[in-house]
Structure 1
Amino acid sequence: MMIRLGIDVGGTNTDGVLMDESYRVITSMKTPTTDDVFTGIQTIIQQFASHPAVNLEDIQVATLGTTHCTNAIVERKQLNRVGVIRLSLPSGTTIPPFLGWPNDLVEALQPEIALIHGGYEYNGEPISHIRHEELDHVIEQMRGKVESIAVCGVFSPVLQDQEKYVVEYLQRAFPNMPISMSSEIGSVGLIERENATILNAALMTTIRQVSQGFRRALKEAGIEAAIYLGQNDGTLMTGDYAEQYPIFTIACGPTNSIRGAAHLSNVDNAIVVDIGGTTTDIGVLVNSFPRQTSLAVEVGGVRTNYRMPDIYAIGFGGGTCVTQQNESWKVGPESVGYCLMQEAISFGGETLTATDVALAVGELEIEGADCSRITEPVHDIYPLFTQLVAEAVDRMKTSATPIPVILVGGGAALMPTVLEGASEVIRPAHASVANAVGAALGDISGTVEKVYALENITHEDALQQAKEEAIEQAVEAGAERSKIEVIELEDYPLAYMPGNAILVKVKVAGPLAL
């Protein structure tokens, strides 16, 4: 029997799940996340090893969803010293790299910056050609001072040739240096794409430690499996691919929950409400995949334009503090987090939490909980919880039409079975570990967002070229070529550009190539 292992490392808990070849859950497990993270992963694996129906040798696929890269940016820790090369001269100098970045994040990267000749017009015509003497100067400038490099050219999503040439030139001088290329990461929009590429380069050491640590944890348990990491479009990528594009792991936690919710509920289109200990993340399922945002997204205070899920977060969860202000009640955003079992009134503490209120009104049952000391008017407070979530769900809807709402996460039981604006409320089996289920699911994706000038190519050829490029991305990330399907194909006219230009967005997905 082939078994899939899915693990999702969150800020409070590390969740694990084992699934059979038919994607049925065999068993699941939760354990507190540890400071070194991998102790938590090892604990999960050791607990699975004691399950009577499980043989660890049957695990052929092991997948990991992790917040490491997000945390590294937010905490400004374990980030590479980055060299930034922009291909833009003689234009593209008005706004320098790192404009608008938080000062402490720039200081953490200790950047070396070089602006050189290069870049393209919107139609692929070169602004100027690459100059070898400039590249040689850049190599000497950065030698011994940087640990990774970000290369970004004007309009490189239209044509990658110059970026590829510069990367190959640098690789001959720095054969072991990780180099990130903007046309493979972001969309049109020089500054946001450059920002995303710099962050990707900064995360190289962090992702390598995560990937190698996961391999180590599996090896020590005697598990020989294909290793994949979750990415933020709800699909997977190989460990090697993740080490090239660590930025794609950012926000993979909520997307894992959305994918897991789709699988556990067998619903393809819905609102997913993932309630944790501190926050609630609300996302949208579209054809079993998370809806992507069309807006620029800030990561650690930096504006970027690479693909990100459309997620709305509110400060509500099982550990949310409930306090009285004047004659009204305030819900969050403060939370006792992982200290719930010590600080909540129902468990002997002195803090009134959302869990206490849900227990007292009878919506939730937890063995060992004692609500007798709760004196607050819980029946007046509890409707505030449902109102918070209902308003957040309404914000994510595109019409007033009721839509299914799927509740997942450790705090899913806080909500009732009826919610305003929902056609039905679904709380599937194994909802508390939906994130680990989503991590274990096996699809691999490829995504392309590219500008084509129709004066140089036909509309049909542009779409076909974008599809082929997306398929190659998926294959490189670990998908089986013969089973890849196009799940999203859109094109938009760019009225502000001459030459009848269009923006093409393509997403493909397929099962793992095992």
Structure 2
Amino acid sequence: MKIGIDIGGTTTHAVLVTSDGRLLQASQHITTPDLLTGVKGAVQALFERTSICPAGVKGIFIGTTELINAIFEGRVMSRTALIRIGTQPTKIKPALTFPETLRSSLKKVWFVKSSNHYNHATLETNISDGLVSIFQQIETDAIEAISIVGTYSPMYEEEELWVKEAIKKRFPNIAITVSHRLGSIGYIERENAAILNALFSKLIRSLLAELSTCFSGLSFTCPFWLTKSDGSLMTVQEAMDFPVLTIFSGVANSLKGAVILTSYKDLLAVDIGGSKIYAGRVRNEQLREVNSSTNLAGIDTSLAMPEFISLPFGGGSIPNIKDGHVRFLPHHSNDIAIEGLSWGGSSWTVSDCFLKLFPEAFYDEKIDPVRLAGLSNSDCELVVSHVMGQLKLALDQFQESEEELPIVLVGGGSPLFGHELFGPYKQVMNPAGYPISGAIGACFAPVSEVVDKVYWLHNRSKEEILDEAVAACKKAVLKKGASPESIQISYVEEYPFAYLRGEILRVKTRATGELIL
């Protein structure tokens, strides 16, 4: 058996699946402020409804929106320092576009003299001279995480690794991020990604420790994995090293779950949650990846992310109509089954608007349409029209040709969005299992590896470089536990550098494989 868990902004879902892919049981629990209470409640409910014991579970797979929520909620991050390694200091301020709540956690910026240039590298021992005062300041300022960014590290990572090891010897428990593992070209984007990763280190370590304690308390002896923003798996150690890669895992799982719940390989997936609606394009069962610089809460980064559109409202959002225009209050109903008007609560939500106009769309024995008698039909029509208009605009951006892609609606609020609301879109479906799409996506996530590196040809052919990148990718996926026969190369992309002298090539490769339990 295996368990998939989706920790959403409003609800935590869990599923119990057999080794041959059959769904045995599903459960849900309100997402609690401490997360673990919701996880524990959802998992306990699985076993209360089955005769399976925890010893029969061989793996637990988890997706979460915890980190992206932490950004928007302005939570306290790790006390972080940045070490820049370059030929000369730069006057560019780090974290310039970060929200103030994040930027305030970047406590120190240090410079270390490098002997590298774009066309050659030497590692001189005198680099250690610049670390003496840094060691003292790490202790004085109680630094908890460090981001190391070398100007030419995508080509020559040795300096970043050397500085990392030197710090680790002195401070073995400090979280250290090296930028070449999170990006290639684009210095600012790579530095931003490395700083974000360091900022998240304390948050992810706390979450992983709590999950470990929770699962041990429930008598599980199996390992657990987190999922990444590309919908693949990462070990606990990988999650500790690269927490920023989990930031959109919940979205990726839900959109990929739409594939598993249907027979479609190419589709438009829409996840309708309590606080957000996400829409994305799935091609050949894979989420399309953003290949250029990606923007995260206003921060340009080099992170690999699925291409999706996020709408800033969901089924639990609270409308505010003024002068005929629809806006939404900054907070939302966390438990709509208690707080929504249709269920006897006091909050007027987006879901109430849909139920006012389409009372047969969603069945729940606790819903009483009489409670919506006081709502204005015209106000509800305005809200529904606004929501559907924004969603259709998002879907239109993924329609690349005349081909009409099926639309698969998942997430707890998806039954409210009836076929008649989509106009020209004819293939609209709400599959069985729609509420648990995120947990299903996590449960069936593959292992993967991305190699994004800049190579000097140095008398080697381009084909030799590409073969080296592919081999390294396959080896990494195999090491992560993939079955050899299942390993596939998702893509091999090459980017020549026309503006640099010499034969130089950036290669980005991704491989995936099914995890052996």
* Superposition TM-score, scaled by structure 2 size: 0.90
Return closer, same or farther for 1:230/1:105 CA change in 2, 3 Å cut-off.
same
Unaligned runs of at least 5 residues, structure 2: none
Shift of 1:101: 3.2
Provide the C-alpha distance between the structure 2 equivalents of 1:214 and 1:384, rounded to a whole number of angstroms.
Answer: 39
2:53 maps to which residue?
A: 55
Q: Secondary structure at the match of 2:225?
A: strand
Tell me: CA distance 1:144–1:358, structure 2 relative to 1, closer, same or farther (3 Å). same
Report the secondary structure of 1:318's partner residue: coil
Deviation at 1:153, TM superposition (A): 0.7
Q: Decide which of 92, 96, 102 is 1:95's aligned counterpart.
A: 92
1:127, 1:422 → 2: CA distance? 59
Counterpart CA distance in 1 for 2:295 and 2:115 is 25
CA drift at 1:325: 4.1
State the alpha-carbon separation in 1 of the partners of residues 414 and 306 from structure 2.
21
- Distance change in 2, residues 1:196/1:148 (3 Å): same
Tell me how far 1:36 sits from its aligned partner. 1.2
Find out whether 1:173 has 2:170 as its counterpart: yes
The residue type equivalent to 2:512 in the other structure is A
Please tell me whether the aligned partners of residues 294 and 300 of structure 2 are also in contact (alpha carbons under 8 angstroms): yes
Q: Deviations over 1:412-449 (max 9, x none)?
A: 11212353464522322111110111111141110122
Relative to structure 1, the CA distance from residue 495 to residue 420 in structure 2 (aligned partners, 3 Å threshold; closer, same or farther) is: farther
Moved more, 483-492 or 216-225: 483-492
User: SS of 1:137's equivalent?
Assistant: helix
SS in 2 for 1:157: coil
1 CA distance for matches of 2:126 and 2:401?
50
Distance 1:143 1:320 in 2: 45
Cα distance in 1 for partners of 2:138, 2:295 equals 28
CA gap of 1:121–1:284, structure 2 versus 1, over 3 A, is: farther
Cα distance in structure 2, aligned partners of 1:122 and 1:310:
31
Say whether 1:85 aligns with 2:83. Answer: yes
1:16 to 2:14 alignment = yes
**Change beyond 3 A, Cα 1:333–1:78:** closer
Paired residues for 1:321-340 under 5 Å: 321-322=318-319, 324-326=321-323, 328=324, 330=326, 332=328, 336-340=332-336
The structural deviation recorded for 1:320 is 3.4
In the aligned structure 2, how far is the partner of 1:266 from the partner of 1:350?
A: 40
1:394 matched to 2:396: yes
**Residue of 481, 498, 503 corresponding to 2:501:** 498
Number of residues of Structure 1 aligned to a counterpart in Structure 2: 509
Q: Residues of 1 paired with 2:17 and 2:147: CA distance? A: 39
Q: CA deviation at 1:243?
A: 0.9
In structure 1, how many angstroms separate the alpha carbons of the residues matched to 2:313 and 2:199? 32
Q: Does the CA contact (< 8 Å) of 2:256 and 2:286 recur in 1?
A: yes
Aligned to 1:434: 437
Q: Which moved more, 1:268-277 or 1:81-90?
A: 81-90
Q: Does 1:416 align with 2:414?
A: no
Match of 2:377 in 1: 376
Aligned residue for 1:143, secondary structure, equals helix
Map of 1:271 onto structure 2: 268
Q: What residue number does 1:45 align with?
A: 43
Structure 1 unaligned runs (5+)?
none
Post-superposition CA distance 1:245-271 (Å, at most 9, x none): 111110111001012111111322211
**Aligned equivalent of 2:343, options 344, 347, 354:** 347
Deviation string, structure 1 residues 379-405 (Cα, Å, up to 9, x no partner): 676455433322211123333431121
Matches of 1:333 and 1:494 in 2, distance apart?
A: 47
Q: Distance in 2 between matches of 1:422 and 1:128?
A: 63
**Matched AA of 2:377:** E
Of 378, 383, 403, the residue aligned with 2:405 is: 403
Which amino acid letter does the alignment assign opposite residue 441 of structure 1?
F
Q: CA RMSD in A?
A: 2.6
Q: Distance in 1 between matches of 2:426 and 2:116?
A: 50
Residue of 464, 484, 487 corresponding to 2:487: 484
Question: Is the contact made by 2:496 and 2:505 (CA closer than 8 Å) also made in structure 1?
Answer: yes
Counterpart-to-counterpart distance in 2, 1:236 and 1:444 = 5
Superposed, 1:101-500 pairs within 5 Å as 101-109=98-106, 111-118=107-114, 120-125=116-121, 131-145=127-141, 146-322=143-319, 324-326=321-323, 328=324, 330=326, 332=328, 336-349=332-345, 351-359=347-355, 360-361=357-358, 362-372=360-370, 373=373, 374-377=375-378, 382-417=384-419, 419-420=422-423, 422=425, 424-454=427-457, 456-475=459-478, 477-481=480-484, 483-500=486-503
Question: What is the CA–CA distance in structure 2 between the aligned matches of 1:364 and 1:247, rounded to whole Å?
Answer: 36
Change (3 A) 1:348 1:235: same
Residue 96 and residue 332 in structure 1: after superposition, are their counterparts in 2 closer, same or farther (change >3 A)? closer
How far did residue 301 of structure 1 move? 4.3
Cα contact 2:123–2:158 (8 A) shared by 1: no
1:328-366 CA deviation, whole Å, 9 max, x = no partner? 463647664225334433233455433223324233333
Decide whether the 8 Å contact of 1:231 with 1:252 is kept in 2: yes
Q: Report the 3-state secondary structure (helix = DSSP H, G, I; strand = E; otherwise coil) of the residue aligned with 2:290.
A: coil
Query: Residue 508 of structure 1 is aligned with which of 493, 506, 511?
Result: 511
What percent of counterpart residues are identical?
Answer: 29
- SS of the equivalent of 2:91 reads coil
- Cα 1:72–1:346 shift into 2, 3 Å: closer
Give the drift of 1:86: 1.2
Letter in structure 2 aligned against 1:345: L
SS of the residue corresponding to residue 195 of structure 1 reads: helix
For 2:171 and 2:45, the matched residues in 1 are separated by: 44
- After superposition, the Cα gap between the structure-2 partners of 1:303 and 1:375, relative to the gap in structure 1 and judged at 3 Å, is closer
Stretch deviating more after TM superposition (289-298 or 409-418): 289-298
Post-superposition offset of 1:120: 4.1
SS at match of 1:403: coil
Contact 1:475 1:481 in 2 (8 A): yes
Cα–Cα, structure 1 residues 242 and 351, in superposed 2: closer, same or farther, change >3 Å? closer
- Judge conservation of contact 1:319–1:335 (CA < 8 Å) in 2: no
Deviates more, 1:375-384 or 1:360-369: 375-384
Find the aligned partners of 2:414 and 2:279 in 1 and give their Cα distance: 12
2:351 counterpart SS class: helix
8 Å contact 1:150–1:182 — kept in the other structure?
yes
Distance 1:32 1:339, change over 3 A: closer
